[in-house]
Amino acid sequence: MKAQELLPFIDELNTFKHYGRVKRVVGIMIESQGPESSVGDVCYIHTGVKGAKKLIRAEVVGFKDENVILMPYTAVSDISPGSLVETTSQPLEIKVGTELIGKVVDSLGHPLDGSPLPKGLSAVPTEQDPPNPMERPPISESIDVGVRMIDSLLTVGNGQRVGIFAGSGVGKSTLLGMVARNTKADLNVIGLIGERGREVREFIERDLGAEGLARSIVVVATSDQPALMRIKGAFTATAIAEYFRDKGLNVMLMMDSVTRVAMAQREIGLAVGEPPTTKGYTPSVFGILPRLLERTGTNIHGSITAFYTVLVDGDDMNEPIADTVRGILDGHFVLDRSLANKGQYPAINVLKSISRIMNHIADEGHVHNAERLRDLLSTYIESEDLINIGAYKRGSSKEIDEAIRKYPEIISFLKQSTKEKVSKEESVFRLMELMESGE
């Protein structure tokens, strides 16, 4: 490149550094006088402890009067009044590339095992706009997730976004591990947001396994980390998935859990002075959820099929976060504690779950058999009390008789061990055999 061609770039360079000074720290909020910056910009807080200088990375989250409000990516320590604040005038970027596959990284994209980042990675911003609605190709084909109940009765489309709603301890992580190991997607991106530190390694080694990890990138933000790191974990996982989607891949994104992202945003909202509204959640929570969830799906290059887990307090499916997420996504799977207590795994309640895309991507015979199984299961459950106490007389209803006869086979069909691998073709064929037997 000639010198004259470089002149426009040189003119655009900002050779000045912008600084401010810390005025006060309240809880997780740092208030500084300056520097000139925008919401989302990354800043460095210079601290000096016993002669050892240290840089603390923080992000601008708001303004109060003429002061800048910052949230740190790490714990608030070693900061004193008058500490220097330097702005980068840039939002957070992470390094992404195929060399990250098989690695476990933190919210900033750094390997958790302490190893250096591989060379040849590309820098991408963690916050990006969702695809243009007019540039989203319609979902026209299914994706094999390797779970018989889902592939046959709740078929997921390539690029569909689904919520997994459950209370604690009903099998969300186990189900995500099954999908990660068995799916036919090109790559898994798994975000563990707000997890207990103990459960991270357990999920990677027990639920995901070496086979699943070899084709996955895992982003971890544990519950002990600051609220901003938990939110960035969700945005980092989404940005990684977007990078590979733009390379033309079909990506499977799994995030556990969206509820903890919302709780982290509530912490930040309350700290910067937002009023608590719906059950204590601040207005920004209901702004960040669609901004995060709408980034996945299809675009002109590839697709991101997404599974988001939602924790429901007391198994209440109508609490604010569950209700909001259900309205944004393209389907919901409800994990039922009563089914888990009976030893039925995956504990998906088929009658309370729905895939909004299934009727558009499955053939007519498949849809008919799935609806028929739902009808039989519903009929049996409605009459279960009468059947158990012996009040129902066989022959009174042809529909109930068929439901009683096929119920054990239906339950056997719905159950699947965590190590069992089943293709979508096998699942659909077995559903057809089950519905046509005895007719």
Same structural domain, 63 and 147: no
Which tops the pLDDT comparison, 21 or 168? 21
In a domain, residue 54? The reply is yes
Output the pLDDT for position 192. Answer: 95
Res. 400 pLDDT band, cuts 50 70 90:
confident
For the chain, report the end-to-end CA distance as a whole number of angstroms.
77
Rounded to whole angstroms, how far apart are CA atoms 221 and 22? 27
The mean per-residue pLDDT over the stretch 344-356 comes to 93
In a domain, residue 102? The reply is yes
Question: Within its chain, how far is the Cα of 5 from the centroid?
Answer: 45
User: Last residue of a domain, which of 47, 67, 91?
Assistant: 91
Output the pLDDT for position 64. Answer: 85
Rounded to whole angstroms, how far apart are CA atoms 84 and 390? 78
Rounded to whole angstroms, how far apart are CA atoms 336 and 381? 14
Same structural domain, 390 and 246: no
Q: What are the tokens at 351?
A: 């009658």
pLDDT in tens, 94-125: 999 999 999 999 999 999 988 888 888 999 99
Residue whose pair of structure tokens reads 């401010």 in the numeric block = 20
Output the pLDDT for position 361. Answer: 95
Backbone angles phi, psi at 53, to 5 degrees: -80, 145
Q: Provide the number of structural domains found in the chain.
A: 3
Same structural domain, 337 and 373: no
In a domain, residue 12? The reply is no
Res. 51 pLDDT band, cuts 50 70 90:
low
Q: Which domain holds residue 56?
A: 17-91
In a domain, residue 9? The reply is no
User: Last residue of a domain, which of 33, 58, 91?
Assistant: 91
In a domain, residue 5? The reply is no
Output the pLDDT for position 77. Answer: 75
Contact 110, 125 (CB under 8 A): no
Same structural domain, 105 and 152: yes
In a domain, residue 2? The reply is no
Output the pLDDT for position 207. Answer: 86
Q: Residues of the chain with pLDDT > 70: what percent?
A: 94
Which tops the pLDDT comparison, 45 or 395? 45
Rounded to whole angstroms, how far apart are CA atoms 46 and 27? 19
Output the pLDDT for position 50. Answer: 56
Output the pLDDT for position 431. Answer: 95
Same structural domain, 414 and 276: no
Cα 281–Cα 236–Cα 16 angle in degrees, nearest 5 = 100
In a domain, residue 1? The reply is no
pLDDT in tens, 297-347: 999 999 999 999 998 876 667 789 999 999 999 999 999 988 988 888 999
In a domain, residue 182? The reply is yes
- pTM of the complete model: 0.90
Residue 1 has pLDDT above 90, yes or no: no
pLDDT in tens, 255-284: 988 999 999 999 989 888 888 887 889 999
Same structural domain, 160 and 267: yes
Same structural domain, 190 and 109: yes
Q: What are the tokens at 393?
A: 């007389």
Q: Residues of the chain with pLDDT > 90: what percent?
A: 59
Residue 155: which of 362, 373, 14, 385 has the closest Cα? Answer: 362
Same structural domain, 376 and 271: no
Res. 288 pLDDT band, cuts 50 70 90:
very high
Residue 15 has pLDDT above 70, yes or no: no
Same structural domain, 327 and 425: no
The mean per-residue pLDDT over the stretch 192-221 comes to 90
- What is the residue-averaged pLDDT of the chain? 89
User: Last residue of a domain, which of 359, 383, 402?
Assistant: 359
Q: What is the CATH number of the domain that holds 80?
A: 2.40.10.170
Output the pLDDT for position 429. Answer: 95
Q: What are the tokens at 104?
A: 């476990």
Q: What is the CATH number of the domain that holds 370?
A: 1.20.1270.330
Same structural domain, 119 and 241: yes
Res. 49 pLDDT band, cuts 50 70 90:
low
Same structural domain, 174 and 156: yes
pLDDT in tens, 70-96: 998 887 777 888 889 999 889 999 999
Same structural domain, 252 and 329: yes
Q: What is the CATH number of the domain that holds 255?
A: 3.40.50.12240
